[in-house]
Structure 1
Amino acid sequence: MALVTLVLLQIFVVAAGAHLITSGALVKGESERVAPAAPPPVPVITAGPVLAAGGNGPLPAKSTLAGRLTEALGDPALGGSVGAVVVDAETGAVLFGSHEAKGITPASTTKVVTSVASLASLGPDTRLSTRVVRGSSPGSIVLVGGGDPTLASPRTAASQVYPKPASLATLASRTARALKAAGTSKVTVAYDDSLYVGPRTAASWKPGYVPEGSVAPVTALMVDEGRVSSGGQRTSDPSRAAHGAFVSLLSKYGITVSKSARRATAPAGAQEIARVESAPVYALVERALTLSDNDLSEALARHVAIKEGEPASFDGGARAVAKVLARLGAGKGVLVFDGSGLSPRNRITPEALARLVAVAASPANPGLNPIVSGMPIAGFSGTLGHRFDKTRSAYGLVRAKTGTLDGVNTLAGMTTTRAGRLVTFAFMADDVPPGWGKAEAALDRLAAVVAAS
């Protein structure tokens, strides 16, 4: 199985070397709830291979691995509810387990589940469209949200982030050009965000998530993920804000717009005037994982719901994700109520997470490989860019998704052992005492132990 390591090595080096990653500041106490608010991009500079070369080497000695991990799991910073597992990626054998079948609050490692379901259901090349169509009366048009939260305003469109988002200004320009070509210079503009249904925030979310900027209300039409400033503040009505921004841009491009800030449903079969499309799903998944993007993860869950014939809501998304995982034979041990991991009701077992990572890394599932290329790299990118400073020997050797809520710290990903054996792991704690940085350091030490085994 030398091919496994070779394929992953190629994926990792290309992804880490070619992509521009932004890794903004995190919020203490709930460090991953806020995706970075578009700081200047910083190229990721690799200091060597992300996974050690050398083929699929021999398994590490179980007794040695167990001894080192058991000692590290005793760190009081992890609290009294801890689960851990290390799985051989080739055979699926459990190399180490401690409460590996216990359902634990996953926090943002939930995004691994959402991402696997998105790639498996939607396909890696699917794009999300935002459109403008003719309205039901002459001189009326409708801005139709297609569930792309990355749609960018002129304020953020010039940022050199990966992946390049669709532009609201481009949509307005194309619309104005088409209207003028048809002899129209004055319109009314409504907006249609009916693609999603149900509550815009999950019942289990804390009331402060939106005001503090962790996530925007989940709507099918938004710009800049509902942010109203570079500091991350969110609007309470992303759809209406996107409509206002679009109207302003139309005016800039020479189209007179009457007052029309109303919600409407686009007529069935309405003529399309213009559209823009998001980056493909594989790139959206990479962004969601690298930056722990809550808004994007919620959007992806709803698109899975639509594809799987469920309502595009929190409940529908959860049911649809479960359907997809069941088809993959990977649904055991996964219970989720949202797509981002903000819900404290989510429960995933460490073994389920580690096996999902192994499924995504398998050469038999090339459509799922963006899970691997999207995971942050220890010491280099995303939510791991500032970590592993006390275990520098693991720099570049660990790919993992992080998870943090009040009292919860998790880490799930993959590495190669010292002998070159590809393994996946999950370390999860949901009774963490105050001092979240100490728990993160303890999880980093566990992953470093695996990489050094």
Structure 2
Amino acid sequence: MVVPELRAWRAARPRLARVARVARPHLVRAARAVKPQVTRVTRAVEPRVARLTQAVGPRLAVPKAWRYTAGAATAGLALAAGVVTAAGPWDSSGQRTAERDWAAARERAGGADHGSGSDTSDTSSGTWSGGPRPAPSAAAVLVGLGRTGAVVKSAPDGPALADVLGPLLRDPALGTHHTAEVVDVATGGRLYGENSGDALTPASTTKIATAVAALSALGADHRLTTRTALEPGTGELVLVGGGDPTLTARKDAGGWASLRTLADRTATALKKRGVSKVTLSYDTTLYAGPELHPIGVNENLAPVSALMADEARTDDSTSGPAPRAAEPAPDAARTFARLLAGRGIATTAPGPSKASARAQTLATVASPPLSAVVERMLTNSDNDIAEALARQTALATGGRADFDGGAAAIATELDRLHLPLGGAVFHDGSGLNRADKLTADLLTALLTKAGDPARPDLRPVLTGLPVAGFTGTLSGRYADGAAGLVRAKTGTLTGVNTLAGTVVDRDGRLLAFAFLTENTTAPAAAQSALDRTATALASCGCR
């Protein structure tokens, strides 16, 4: 009897051999980069390996050589998974940095490392001292873009794709209306389309549009600044919100802007002036309009404010739904007052104000570059970041920083990029508004634009996409499918399931896809049907 694990190994062996040939030079370089992380990853995966051995071992009556080979492959996959999961795609050892470095290297200039923790970067110049260095997960996307020197076959055949995808998309679990499109990223050519011009509710795949618009309008290196300002002659200290949704008050800031650091710097500046007591105020005037999203109070999104700490979460979570403070700015200001008190600065109870033009900036903290913020938004489907970026896009383009202004700015910026906006309607940046409408045609065009070698500033849109089976909103999916091969943004509302992202197909082509469905009745079944479709696309040579 041939056990399922052995059949799976035999089926996968030719593909693993191809992957090994392509990945080998990249993995050699990557091994040097990830060596410090191996010990931590090993500790993390050992319990899983033990459980896997207990579950599978008794059923394996196969030669020792096969067990050794399969074990080595499993260990390699576990290591890759562990590095991706532990570091996160926005870390300096993640794929975004590798791809930015690679893109910059084409012009004989090192790429900026916007992460932290690397010991091989030239901190004086912001470039890699040893030249571009791919991360463990970079090879597949770089091969798909046709830039590693590997031989890549021609794009899949449209009719052959239709034969594979058509039956899967007709699954009753996908509701009464669906739309789909597949595009070759290297050429922009459409390979498959079904109702691709129909505008449906996109749910969180809206964040792909928000990401492209924000990066285009603001630039990948833009940072969001929170500051304190002292009003002359009044002793009023104003905490000025800069719209950074990643500002944190936690002891471990994890590389994000820290309210604690701002308190340290502010207290130091005040003591140099001989000031030990201030009237504390907070300024949220950067944003306009109502703070509450049209969906109302919701654990998926805090009231949108120019000043908040930890996305106004009242628990220890860092992503996903959570209880939120009803008034993020006063809550952040009270936290700041406590931090100042711990540093010897007494304050009054904070109240709203606006920093005058005469106020002297005492201290600042800045977010990581927008490229990293965008990746965090996409990986975790972070609604708070999405709404902040919509408002920041409005500010950058001269619009009003509210829900309507942010939505209008996204559309305007995408139109400036000559993207197909027919039927598209924006009402927010997160996709929580059911009145949002996008087409599969627009979503694949956004992904293709992000893969354009002439627009490396947009590359975080691709590298921030959750990795199937590894990161973000796809970490618990594709366990039996294309784990590591599909990178996609998910979208879920009642009766709505969407998926849009990229795959590298069996022949090494990078394909962008978008699947949107409406009137689904079983979310889990619809999600599984979409995952099967994306898996089929990744497995397809389709000629």
The TM-score by the shorter chain falls in which range?
Answer: 0.7 to 0.9
Q: Residue type matched to 2:489 in 1?
A: K
Residue 331 (structure 1) shift: 4.5
Residue 91 (structure 1) shift: 2.3
CA contact 1:136–1:267 (8 Å) conserved in 2: no
2:458 corresponds in structure 1 to: 368
Residue 98 (structure 1) shift: 0.8
CA contact 2:249–2:259 (8 Å) conserved in 1: yes
Given the two structures, how large is their TM-score scaled by the length of structure 2? 0.72
SS of match in other structure, 2:201: coil
1:21 corresponds in structure 2 to: 88
CA contact 1:141–1:188 (8 Å) conserved in 2: yes
CA contact 1:88–1:422 (8 Å) conserved in 2: yes
CA contact 1:51–1:398 (8 Å) conserved in 2: no
- CA distance 1:52–1:444, shift in 2 (3 Å): farther
CA contact 2:221–2:371 (8 Å) conserved in 1: yes
SS of match in other structure, 1:335: coil
CA contact 1:306–1:312 (8 Å) conserved in 2: yes
Question: Matches of 1:293 and 1:337 in 2, distance apart?
Answer: 17
- CA distance 1:133–1:55, shift in 2 (3 Å): farther
Comparing 109-118 and 396-405, the one that deviates more: 396-405
Question: Matches of 1:56 and 1:360 in 2, distance apart?
Answer: 20
Q: Of residues 231, 238, 241 in structure 2, which corresponds to 1:135? A: 231
2:443 corresponds in structure 1 to: 353
SS of match in other structure, 1:235: coil
Matches within 5 A, 1:117-132: 117-132=213-228
Q: Residue type matched to 2:257 in 1?
A: A
Q: Deviations over 1:312-359 (max 9, x none)?
A: 001111111111101111151332110111110000001110111011
Matched, 1:322 2:408: no
Q: Deviations over 1:250-290 (max 9, x none)?
A: 1000011123x210111114210111101110000000000
1:166 corresponds in structure 2 to: 257
Question: Matches of 1:146 and 1:173 in 2, distance apart?
Answer: 18
CA contact 2:235–2:278 (8 Å) conserved in 1: yes
1:26 corresponds in structure 2 to: none
- Identity fraction in percent: 44
Question: Matches of 2:505 and 2:376 in 1, distance apart?
Answer: 27
Residue 389 (structure 1) shift: 2.2
Residue 421 (structure 1) shift: 1.5
2:508 corresponds in structure 1 to: 420
Larger radius of gyration: 2
Unaligned runs of 5+ in 2: 1-21, 34-79, 90-134, 144-149
Matches within 5 A, 1:38-437: 49-51=139-141, 53=143, 54-135=150-231, 137-154=233-250, 157-158=251-252, 160=254, 164-203=255-294, 205=295, 207-209=296-298, 213-230=299-316, 232-259=322-349, 261-333=350-422, 334-391=424-481, 394-433=482-521, 435-437=522-524
- CA distance 1:436–1:447, shift in 2 (3 Å): same
1:438 corresponds in structure 2 to: 525
Q: Deviations over 1:9-42 (max 9, x none)?
A: 98xx8998577239xxxxxxxxxxxxxxxxxxxx
Question: Matches of 1:365 and 1:199 in 2, distance apart?
Answer: 35
SS of match in other structure, 1:336: coil
Comparing 242-251 and 266-275, the one that deviates more: 266-275
Question: Matches of 1:365 and 1:415 in 2, distance apart?
Answer: 20
CA contact 1:52–1:420 (8 Å) conserved in 2: no
Question: Matches of 1:358 and 1:265 in 2, distance apart?
Answer: 42
CA contact 2:231–2:358 (8 Å) conserved in 1: no
Given the two structures, how large is their TM-score scaled by the length of structure 1? 0.86
Question: Matches of 2:192 and 2:490 in 1, distance apart?
Answer: 20
Q: Residue type matched to 2:302 in 1?
A: A
1:41 corresponds in structure 2 to: none
Q: Residue type matched to 1:193 in 2?
A: T
CA contact 1:49–1:396 (8 Å) conserved in 2: no
CA contact 1:130–1:276 (8 Å) conserved in 2: yes
Question: Matches of 2:151 and 2:233 in 1, distance apart?
Answer: 65
Question: Matches of 2:138 and 2:398 in 1, distance apart?
Answer: 44
Residue 419 (structure 1) shift: 1.1
2:111 corresponds in structure 1 to: none
Comparing 262-271 and 295-304, the one that deviates more: 262-271
CA contact 2:232–2:358 (8 Å) conserved in 1: no
Residue 49 (structure 1) shift: 4.7
CA RMSD of aligned residues (A): 2.3
Question: Matches of 2:458 and 2:355 in 1, distance apart?
Answer: 35
SS of match in other structure, 2:536: helix
Q: Deviations over 1:417-445 (max 9, x none)?
A: 21112211000112111x21111111111
- CA distance 1:48–1:362, shift in 2 (3 Å): closer
SS of match in other structure, 2:412: helix
Residue 149 (structure 1) shift: 1.2
Unaligned runs of 5+ in 1: 1-5, 23-44
Kindly indicate which of the two structures has a greater share of residues assigned to helix.
2
Question: Matches of 1:56 and 1:342 in 2, distance apart?
Answer: 39
CA contact 1:128–1:148 (8 Å) conserved in 2: yes
Question: Matches of 2:301 and 2:152 in 1, distance apart?
Answer: 41
Question: Matches of 2:334 and 2:230 in 1, distance apart?
Answer: 18
CA contact 1:55–1:421 (8 Å) conserved in 2: no
CA contact 1:50–1:377 (8 Å) conserved in 2: no
* Larger RCO, structures 1/2 (Cα 8 Å, 6+ apart): 1
Question: Matches of 2:431 and 2:358 in 1, distance apart?
Answer: 37
Q: Residue type matched to 1:230 in 2?
A: D
